């Protein structure tokens, strides 16, 4: 359904150019949940915003293509992109409070989106809005539809944002940190809802997160990003049980061990490299304890890590030492 190939994006300032994405490639099939994981600044949100054509004016796509259902999104006109957003591709933004209009009631906001994408009367659209709230497991949807965003809890607002994104309903749903700042119980309900959408509607989901626990629970495949590059990708179970890139291993190692609460947390030494001047070799070399001269000199390609041993060719890693 979605294929991103060698996507590179730069942001221009008055002084210089920041290379935010470098040759990013990933794909999502119908009914599949693909996780994009990495620390802050790794390019996860920029990738999602590029798909929707929502980048800032100082952004420039320098390379690559984004194919959605056979058409190159990067070649669409603003009018064609506007028709694509919401109707075919929905977005759940990271902060639900800023994604909702503070002076409009929930039902009116949903009905407005529904009328934009469907040929319905105001009454029919409002009835569908109430039904959409019910579909995301909101109790007393008629009552919630008459409330303003500030009258709802964080978990309720997040469900409303998901209902907004699914109002058309779209074939592809992009979720940018949808469980951030939610307590564990509400987070579980949101993740359960995501799996439900994928299984019952066949919705393809791009799930952006920094939480590997969430990835393990809901994602079929995962792409690990670092400093604007995909450094490892494959089936979730394969990547998390047998990581082949040192950055992936470091992320897993930084997770707290609940069986040994007194054990000190591991951390990744160093900082993300300056994206104004990307290093010549491996993007992770400056923070990798195993890096050698080749790592600093040559950039590794994303490919199967052990072809001679018959490893799963869907498990790819960009590392000379994999």
Q: What DSSP state is assigned to residue 120? A: -
Q: Residue 298 is encoded by which pair of tokens?
A: 């040559």
The pLDDT tens digits for 210-256 are 889 889 999 999 999 999 999 999 999 999 999 999 999 999 988 88
Q: Examine the pLDDT at 309 and tell me if it is beyond 80.
A: no
pTM for the full predicted model: 0.89
Nearest C-alpha neighbor of 57 from the set 11, 7, 8, 9? 11
**Cβ neighbour number for residue 159 with a 10 Å cutoff:** 25
Conformation bin of residue 71: beta by default, left when phi > 0, alpha when psi is -120 to 50: beta
Res 283: pLDDT: 94
CA distance 218 to 63: 31
Of the candidates 176, 200, 171, 201, which has an alpha carbon nearest to the alpha carbon of residue 87?
171
- Whether 310 has a pLDDT exceeding 90, the answer reads no
Statement: 2-88+168-256+265-317 belongs to CATH 3.40.1190.20: no
For the residues 30-45, what does the mean pLDDT come to? 93
Give me the pLDDT at residue 321, please: 84
Q: Cβ distance 172 to 26 under 8 Å?
A: no
Nearest to 30 by CA among 70, 50, 2: 2
User: Quick one: pLDDT band at residue 194, thresholds 50, 70, 90?
Assistant: confident
Arithmetic mean of pLDDT, 20-45: 94
Listed by start position, the domains of the chain span 2-88+168-256+265-317
Distance of alpha carbon 196 from alpha carbon 172, whole angstroms: 14
pLDDT for 312: 53
């Amino acid at each position: 359904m979605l294929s991103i190939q060698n996507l590179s994006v730069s942001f221009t300032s008055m002084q210089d150019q920041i290379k935010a994405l470098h040759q990013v490639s990933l794909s999502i099939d119908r009914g599949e949940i693909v996780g994009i994981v990495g620390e802050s600044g790794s390019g996860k949100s920029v990738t999602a915003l590029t798909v929707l054509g929502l980048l800032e004016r100082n952004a420039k796509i320098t390379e690559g293509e984004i194919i959605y259902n056979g058409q190159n999104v990067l070649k669409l006109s603003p009018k064609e992109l506007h028709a694509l957003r919401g109707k075919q591709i929905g977005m759940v933004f990271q902060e639900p409070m800023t994604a909702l209009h503070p002076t409009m009631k929930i039902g009116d906001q949903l009905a407005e989106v529904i009328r934009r994408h469907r040929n319905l009367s105001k009454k029919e659209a409002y009835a569908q809005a109430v039904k959409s709230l019910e579909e995301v497991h909101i109790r007393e949807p008629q009552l919630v539809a008459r409330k303003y965003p500030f009258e709802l809890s964080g978990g309720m607002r997040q469900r409303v944002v998901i209902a907004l994104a699914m109002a058309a309903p779209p074939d592809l749903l992009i979720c940018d940190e949808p469980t951030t700042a939610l307590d564990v119980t509400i987070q579980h309900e949101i993740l359960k809802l995501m799996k439900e959408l994928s299984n019952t509607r066949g919705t393809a989901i791009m799930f952006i997160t920094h939480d590997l626990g969430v990835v393990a629970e809901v994602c079929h495949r995962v792409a690990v990003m670092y400093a604007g590059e995909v450094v490892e990708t494959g089936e979730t179970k394969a990547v998390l049980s047998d990581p082949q890139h040192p950055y992936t291993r470091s992320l897993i190692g930084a997770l707290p061990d609940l069986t040994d609460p007194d054990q000190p947390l591991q951390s990744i030494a160093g900082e993300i490299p300056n994206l104004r001047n990307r290093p010549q070799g491996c993007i992770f070399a400056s923070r990798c304890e195993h890096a050698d001269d080749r790592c600093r000199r040559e950039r590794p390609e994303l490919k199967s890590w052990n072809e001679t041993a018959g490893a799963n060719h869907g498990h790819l890693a960009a590392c000379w030492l994999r």
